[in-house]
Amino acid sequence: MFDAVSNANSAGAEGLLVNNPRPGVALVTINRPERMNAIDPQLNAALERVLQGLGANADIQCIVITGAGDRAFCAGAHIPTMLPHLAETLSEGTDDPQFAGVTHRAPSGKPLIAAINGVALGGGLELALACDIRIASVTARFGLPEISVGILAGAGGCTRLPRSISPALAAEMILTGTPIDADRAFKCGLISQVLPACELLNAALDLAATIASRAPRAVRACTELLRRQSRRDLAPALAEEREVFASVMATQDAREGIEAFTQKRAPRFQDA
């Protein structure tokens, strides 16, 4: 076990498992299956630390991210804790838009593979969208349900999704919050492979091992070129998205939507 993984395993108590299942490959597992692998502020910070550590480790050439269990890759932000935290940092002027260690600043020049083993909703889809390669199980579902709680996908979802699939389908997903299944995600180009659930992780690790076996400098160069193309003019668009997110988070409807979600009742939006 190499140092980055040894150090990263200290994040286990914060909901992460990290190991080295193939030469040159790190596997990062979001380990909160009882919460559908939703991300709270502590786990959010742990992901950033772990991914930066793996990015700095010369023994690692490719990183796979997945979720524990068979129901969820990541259900996004843990609404009862993450959204109040965001509201506080936005009001204090200390907001950092980075989510899950990937959405606004790449942790390294090494390729990231999302092995999507169940639902990828809200911030979970934003995490997947920030990865270089996405493959999924037949049970995967993809969506941005933030609209249903009176907010929007402010960690790259409203910006990256229309760049990844047809604008019409992206608009349908963003404005309704309705998810799509793995078959439709594959057909629209959101993911590159759909696999039986029992085959997904090995397929992702094999893919990562193939990448890790290539010349490291060439892999990093190709990754940078691919990201440069997909992220052309992305930074100002993400900044504008975050400004709009902040303004929506300050509304009464956002407060009502979050409260209704935690109380497990239908929200009563008032356009306020």
Sheet strands side by side (includes 25-30): 16-22, 25-30, 62-67, 112-116, 133-137, 193-195
Angle at 129 between CA 107 and CA 180, to 5 degrees: 155
Beta bridge partners of 137: 195
CB atoms within 10 A of CB 91: 12
Active-site residue flag, 243: no
Out of 14, 34, 88, 126, the active site residue is 126
Per-residue b or e along 198-228, where b marks 16 or more CB atoms closer than 10 Å to that residue's CB: eebbebbbebbbebbeeebeebeebbeeebe
Out of 48, 146, 172, 259, the active site residue is 146
- The DSSP symbol for 187 reads H
Active-site residue flag, 241: no
* Residues acting as catalytic residues: 126, 146
